[in-house]
Amino acid sequence: MEPIHTQVLAAANRLAAADGTFAIAGLPAMLPQLNAATVRTHVASRCCVNAPSHHQSRYRYFRALRRGVYRIEPAFRHATRRGRQPIASQERILAQVDAGVDATLVAASLAMTPTERLETMRRAARSLDGLHRS
């Protein structure tokens, strides 16, 4: 089962407006499997970056804007939002970047064992380091 804080973050992402803001009052109804007080505590305390100093804040998901209104911090705003967005836009971009993948390099990599892939990459990184130093 997903941890409560990730369930709360996912629900907040579903509830939030485009700018990431949401009203805490609307969240418990989206998480009927959880105790409403637990949900509110996660938003206002456990996962709030500007919670009062005596609160034990552990996850930096939300910022309190005013009474009852929070905003998802940008780093976490996309956690589920992007995951549920139509991916047509990504596919359009992918159609462009597909051409940049060198299939021969990928094929050569696939012919190796995982350890060989890692060691080949390490050697390449070392060569790049040498070039940067020279």
Partner 1 sequence: MTPDYESILTTLDDHKVDFVIVGAIALVLQGSARVTRDLDICYAREQANLERLARALKPLAPTLRGAPPDLPFTLDVATLKAGLNFTLQSTAGDLDLLGEITGIGGYAAVQRLSIAMPVYGRDQRVLSLDGLERAKRAAGRLKDLADLAEIREIRRLSR
- Interface pick for partner 1 out of 18, 88, 97, 131 (rule CB under 8 A): 97
Nearer to partner 1, 69 or 124 (CB): 124
**Residue 17 interacts with partner 1 (CB under 8 A): yes or no:** no
Element (H, E) at 63: strand 62-66
- Interface pick for partner 1 out of 50, 86, 110, 132 (rule CB under 8 A): 110
**Residue 83 interacts with partner 1 (CB under 8 A): yes or no:** yes
Nearer to partner 1, 25 or 124 (CB): 124
Stretch touching partner 1 by CB under 8 A, among 26-34, 37-45, 64-72, 88-96? 88-96
State how far the alpha carbon of 97 is from the alpha carbons of 81, 87, 100, 104, 109, in Å.
Answer: 23, 15, 5, 16, 20
Written as one letter, the residue type at 13 is N
CA distance 14 to 33: 16
Query: With CB under 8 A, what is the number of residues at the site for partner 1?
Result: 41
Residue 24: count other Cβ atoms within 10 Å of its Cβ: 19
**Residue 14 interacts with partner 1 (CB under 8 A): yes or no:** no
The answer to whether the CB of 55 falls within 8 A of the CB of 14 is no
